[in-house]
C-alpha cells in the first residue's frame, strides 16, 4: 500500500498531488522492535521461549507436568497473576511479547522443574530445552529484553487509540526515547537488572560467565572488558537500547517539514522561531488561503493572543476548538490538515479482525449486504440499537409465518 509507483499511495497522489502519506506509527514502532531485537542472543532466547511455550501448550502430558509444578509453588502463582500456562510470542505485535517474556521470567523455576520431570520420564526434547535455558546468556537476555520491551507497551497502547493525533504520538515517542537514553546512562539501572539475573542463575547453580576474549574475533562481540557485567552491558544492553532509539528516531519521528507546525500549538509557541515560518508556509502553501505576508502577521497576532493567557492547550483538537477561523484562517487550516494525518491504522486493522470472526465457514453463503451490516454492528459496538424498531422493520418487509406481535 505504501509503494511509490504502484501502491495505494501512488494512486491517491495521482488524483491529489498534495496528499501527504503517513506511515502507521504503531507499525513503525513494531518494526523498530523487530529490528532492534535482532541481536543473536536475544533472537536465540526468543526462539527458545517460543518453542518451550509450544511444548507445554500443545501437549496435555507436558502441560499437566507444568501445572503440577506450578501448584506446588505458591510464590510463582502470585507472580503469574492466576495464569496456569505460558504465553506464546505473537508474530505480528512485538510489543505484546513483553507480557509473554514477563510470564516466562516469573515462571522460570516452574519451567525448569517441569522440564527436569519430563526429562527423567524420557522426554528428549525436554532435556534439550533444559540445557538451552540453564545458561547465563539466556537468563540475562531474557531479563534485558523483557525490561526494554515493557518500556514501549504504554506507547504502543497510545499509538492505537482513536483520539490520538500525530503530534501527540511524536511527542510521547520522544518521551520514551529520552527514557531509554537516561536508563542507558544510569549505571544503577543496569546493576539492578544484572543482579536480578545473577540471583536467578545462582538459584540453579549457573555461573555467570562471558565468552573468551580473543585477540582477533569477527563472528561475535569481542570488547575489551574485564568483568561479566561489563561484557553484557556493552554487547547486549547498550546495543539493544541504541538500536531501538535509532530505529524509533528514524521511523517514528522523521524530519518532516509539516512537523514543524507543531510549534504553532500554544504550549510550544516559545519554540517557534522566525526562520521556521517559510518552511511551515511552504509545506502547507497549497491549502492556505492567504499570502506569506498575511501569514506572518497572523502568526504575530497568534503569539500575542496566547501570551495574554496562562491556560494554553497542548493538543491539536483543543487548539482547533479555541481558534476562530475568521481571525486565523491559515493557522486553522494548518491545524485541520495535521488532524487529518492519522498516526495509526489500528482502526482499519480491527475491522479486518472483525471480518475474520464474522466471515467463518458457517456463514460462507451470506450476501455482501448482510456481511457489511454484521461488520458494522460488530465494529461499532457502542451504537445504540433499538430492538423494537429492528423487529418492526423486519416484520414489515413481507408476510412471515411467525407472529411478532
Q: What are phi and psi of 2, to 5 degrees?
A: -95, 10
pLDDT tens-place string over residues 338-384: 888 777 777 777 777 777 788 877 777 778 888 888 888 887 777 78
**CA 237: distance to chain centroid?**
20
* pLDDT the model gives residue 397: 77
pLDDT tens-place string over residues 121-166: 988 889 999 999 999 999 999 999 999 999 999 998 888 887 777 7
Residue 85 has pLDDT above 80, yes or no: yes
Is there a contact between 111 and 85 (Cβ–Cβ < 8 Å)? no
* pLDDT the model gives residue 52: 94
- Retrieve residue 195's grid coordinates: 543482579
Q: Domain segments of the chain: what residues?
A: 25-253, 263-339, 360-396
Cβ neighbours, 10 Å, residue 307? 11
Overall average pLDDT of the 72-96 stretch: 84
Give how far Cα 12 sits from Cα of 7, 24, 112, 248, 256, Å: 9, 17, 55, 27, 20
Overall average pLDDT of the 260-271 stretch: 84
DSSP 263: G
Spatial CA neighbour of 316 closest among 159, 165, 172, 158: 165
CA distance 137 to 47: 14
Q: What angle do CA 344, 347, 349 make, to 5 degrees?
A: 95
DSSP 24: -
CA distance 53 to 46: 10
Q: Which residue has the higher pLDDT, 194 or 401?
A: 194
* pLDDT the model gives residue 400: 64
**Average per-residue pLDDT in the chain?**
85
pLDDT tens-place string over residues 302-341: 989 898 888 888 888 888 888 888 889 899 998 888 888 7
- Retrieve residue 228's grid coordinates: 561479566
Is there a contact between 253 and 170 (Cβ–Cβ < 8 Å)? yes
Give the 3-state secondary structure of residue 273: coil
pLDDT tens-place string over residues 149-161: 999 999 988 888 8
DSSP 130: H
pLDDT tens-place string over residues 217-231: 666 677 778 889 999
* pLDDT the model gives residue 370: 83
* pLDDT the model gives residue 186: 92
* pLDDT the model gives residue 102: 92
CA distance 168 to 315: 7
pLDDT tens-place string over residues 12-46: 888 887 777 778 888 888 889 999 999 989 999 99
Sorting pLDDT into bands at 50, 70 and 90, what band is 390?
confident
Amino acid at each position: 500500500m505504501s509503494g511509490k509507483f504502484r501502491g495505494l499511495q501512488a494512486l491517491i497522489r495521482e488524483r491529489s498531488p498534495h496528499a501527504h502519506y503517513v506511515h502507521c506509527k504503531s507499525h513503525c514502532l513494531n518494526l523498530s522492535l523487530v529490528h532492534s531485537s535482532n541481536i543473536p542472543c536475544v533472537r536465540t532466547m526468543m526462539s527458545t521461549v517460543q518453542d518451550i511455550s509450544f511444548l507445554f501448550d500443545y501437549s496435555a502430558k507436558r502441560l499437566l507436568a507444568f501445572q503440577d509444578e506450578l501448584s506446588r509453588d505458591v510464590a510463582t502463582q502470585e507472580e503469574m497473576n492466576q495464569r496456569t500456562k505460558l504465553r506464546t510470542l505473537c508474530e505480528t505485535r512485538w510489543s505484546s511479547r513483553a507480557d509473554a517474556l514477563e510470564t516466562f521470567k516469573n515462571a522460570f523455576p516452574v519451567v525448569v522443574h517441569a522440564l527436569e520431570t519430563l526429562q527423567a520420564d524420557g522426554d528428549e526434547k525436554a532435556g534439550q530445552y533444559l540445557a538451552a535455558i540453564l545458561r547465563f546468556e539466556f537468563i540475562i537476555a531474557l531479563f534485558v529484553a523483557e525490561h526494554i520491551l515493557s518500556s514501549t507497551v504504554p506507547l504502543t497502547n497510545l499509538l492505537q487509540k482513536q483520539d490520538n493525533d500525530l503530534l501527540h504520538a511524536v511527542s510521547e515517542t520522544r518521551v520514551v526515547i529520552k527514557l531509554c537514553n537516561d536508563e542507558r546512562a544510569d549505571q544503577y539501572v543496569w546493576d539492578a537488572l544484572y543482579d536480578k539475573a545473577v540471583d536467578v542463575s545462582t538459584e540453579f547453580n549457573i555461573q555467570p560467565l562471558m565468552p573468551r576474549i580473543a585477540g582477533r574475533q569477527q563472528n561475535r562481540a569481542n570488547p575489551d572488558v574485564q568483568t561479566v557485567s561489563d561484557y553484557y552491558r556493552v554487547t547486549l544492553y547498550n546495543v539493544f537500547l541504541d538500536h531501538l532509539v535509532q530505529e524509533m528516531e528514524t521511523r517514528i519521528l522523521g524530519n518532516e517539514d509539516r512537523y514543524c507546525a507543531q510549534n504553532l500549538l500554544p504550549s510550544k509557541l516559545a519554540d517557534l522561531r522566525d526562520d521556521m515560518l517559510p518552511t511551515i508556509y511552504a509545506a502547507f502553501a497549497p491549502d492556505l488561503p492567504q499570502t506569506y505576508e498575511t501569514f506572518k502577521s497572523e502568526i504575530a497576532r497568534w503569539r500575542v493572543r496566547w501570551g495574554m493567557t496562562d491556560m494554553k492547550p497542548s493538543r491539536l483538537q483543543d487548539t482547533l476548538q479555541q481558534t476562530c477561523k475568521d481571525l486565523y484562517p491559515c493557522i486553522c487550516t494548518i491545524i485541520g490538515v495535521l488532524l487529518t494525518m492519522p498516526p495509526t491504522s489500528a482502526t482499519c486493522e480491527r475491522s479486518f479482525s472483525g471480518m475474520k470472526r464474522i466471515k467463518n465457514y458457517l456463514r460462507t453463503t451470506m450476501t455482501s449486504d448482510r456481511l457489511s451490516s454484521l461488520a458494522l454492528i460488530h465494529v461499532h459496538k457502542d451504537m445504540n440499537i433499538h430492538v423494537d424498531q429492528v423487529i418492526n422493520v423486519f416484520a414489515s418487509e413481507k408476510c412471515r409465518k411467525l407472529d411478532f406481535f
